Amino acid sequence: MSRRRMGRLVSVALAGLVCLTIVGTGFASARAAAHHEIHQSQVTTSAAVQPLPAPAAAPSPSQPSIPAPAPGPVVVSIGDSIMEGHGLAPDRAWLALLASEKGWQLTNLASDGSGFVAVGSNGDTFADQAAAAELLHPDVVVFSGSSNDLGVSDSRIDAATAATIAALHAALPETMIVSISAIWGDSDVPEKFSTIDSAVETATAAAGGIYLDAGQPLSEDSALMQADQIHPTADGQLLLARAVQQAMLSHGVTF
């Protein structure tokens, strides 16, 4: 073989070797790249299919709250300065003390000097107070006889008492009417009180109400009276509250 031909064959062989090397290198690179993509895809897929974290445990339910007590009955009082609590804070009056203890929703319409006939310092009688009570639609109305009617004739006391309580009952037939005997101080009780109490008891019974005789808790104890010897002290009002409460218990009256 000639030397020239031999040189061509060597050149061709070298060229083929170079091509194989390039192709092999490219294949290896491509294979590596493909392997890298597959690995990345596996990583991504693996991350994508990771299980979701378990939800946080629900907080334990709070302790049930204790419901507020139901509001007590709406009570309106009609009376004089003793029921009003003359000379004391309003919440020291005997009916206010009972209302606080029993949860009543009390509106005290009582005023100084008023009676079934007598006109009080506010220019009202018990009939005027009763008319105001009608607008409040109470569950219970509490009346009390009053010493302010002492100077009035029996017939006027009877008529005014009957008319006042009957009118209230006609306007509020579902309202309970509770009447309390008239309260005196620490001296002898006037005979006229029997007329006042009798008129209240009769009118209350006619209206289907309840009459309570609370007695005279303030009798013979001047320490329970204010300096004017007419109105009870705070201790006197407390004693009245207990006397009325006892009368309610004795007659089975609850509200």
The overall average pLDDT reported for the chain is 84
pLDDT on residue 62: 64
Domain hosting 8: range is 1-43
Burial (CB count within 10 angstroms: exposed 0-12, middle 13-18, buried 19+), residue 72: middle
Across residues 236-244, what is the average pLDDT? 97
Q: Give the pLDDT band of residue 56 (cuts 50, 70, 90).
A: low
Write down the pLDDT at residue 217: 95
> In this structure, are 185 and 231 located in the same domain?
yes
125 and 36, same structural domain?
no
Q: Which of 134, 138, 142 is nearest to 94 (CA)?
A: 142
E strand residue ranges, the chain? 74-78, 105-108, 140-144, 176-180, 210-212
Number of domains comprising the chain: 2
Residue 23 CA to residue 15 CA, distance in Å, equals 12
pLDDT of residue 43: 41
Question: Tokens at residue 206, please?
Answer: 């006619």
Residue 243 CA: distances (Å) to CA of 30, 45, 52, 148, 178? 108, 87, 73, 21, 15
pLDDT at position 18: 41
Residues 121 and 238 placed together within one structural domain of the fold: yes
Tell which phi-psi region holds residue 85, choosing left (phi > 0), alpha (psi between -120 and 50) or beta.
Answer: left
Percent of the chain with pLDDT over 70: 74
